[in-house]
Amino acid sequence: MTGCTVAIDGPAAAGKGTISKAVARHFGFAHLDTGLLYRAVGAKVLGGASPEAAARALNPDDLENDALRTPAVAQAASEVAAIPAVRQALLEFQRAFAGRDGGAVLDGRDIGTVICPEADAKLFVTASAVVRAKRRFAELSEKGISVTYEQVLADVEARDARDMGRADAPLRPADDAVEIDTSQMSIEDAIAAAVAVIEAKRGGV
């Protein structure tokens, strides 16, 4: 499966990150969580930088930061992701990663529609807002981050509205993407479903 590009999109906390990492391990592909790019820019903006300047100055080391997983950074990431100049600044970084030798899995919100429209396999991983909020609340609680379930649900719904409603590269399934709804699925079943889709797209090679 040399040179295969897999695009995995979906809303926050749908499971696309976990599925993407597992798929990359299964096939031996490199993996990029593109949401971390926007979180890193958002973190810099919270620190006082301008969004476009932060995006242009981004480097791989900026992605290695546990603070990128906080609710405040998540909100900032969603806000800066709606800025066309920020998206353009990060476009080449993502496309270069997608074209690397040995295959690549990219997950985000516009991979199959904008970043890699010619990807070999496209998935849209989703789940209900309530399920996603419960997952994110549990994740944040395990990390000791103080937040209520109601706040997390409100954040999830607000991010959905921003991501789906923005004028530039809104969150939506690519026309040829296969949708996987993980609301009632175990993570093992969701990963198996994703692997099956990719193998089918590649003819089982």
Q: Establish whether 10 is an annotated binding residue.
A: yes
Q: Rounded distance, CA 46 to CA 29, Å?
A: 33
pLDDT tens profile 17-28: 999 999 999 999
Residue 24's contacts (CB-CB under 8 Å, 6 or more residues apart) are 30, 31, 105
pLDDT tens profile 76-133: 998 998 899 999 999 988 998 999 899 999 999 999 999 999 999 999 999 999 999 9
Q: Establish whether 60 is an annotated binding residue.
A: no
Q: Establish whether 170 is an annotated binding residue.
A: no
Amino acid present at 14: A
Q: Establish whether 193 is an annotated binding residue.
A: no
pTM: 0.86
Sequence spans of domains, the chain:
5-201
Beta-strand pair 5-9/121-126 = parallel
Q: Rounded distance, CA 166 to CA 168, Å?
A: 6
E strand or H helix at 180, and its extent?
Answer: strand 178-181
Residue 20, token pair as written in the block = 């993407």
Q: Establish whether 112 is an annotated binding residue.
A: no
* pLDDT value at 3 more than 70: no
3-state SS assignment for residue 6 = strand
What is the CATH class of 5-201?
alpha beta
Angle at 93 between CA 90 and CA 94, to 5 degrees: 90
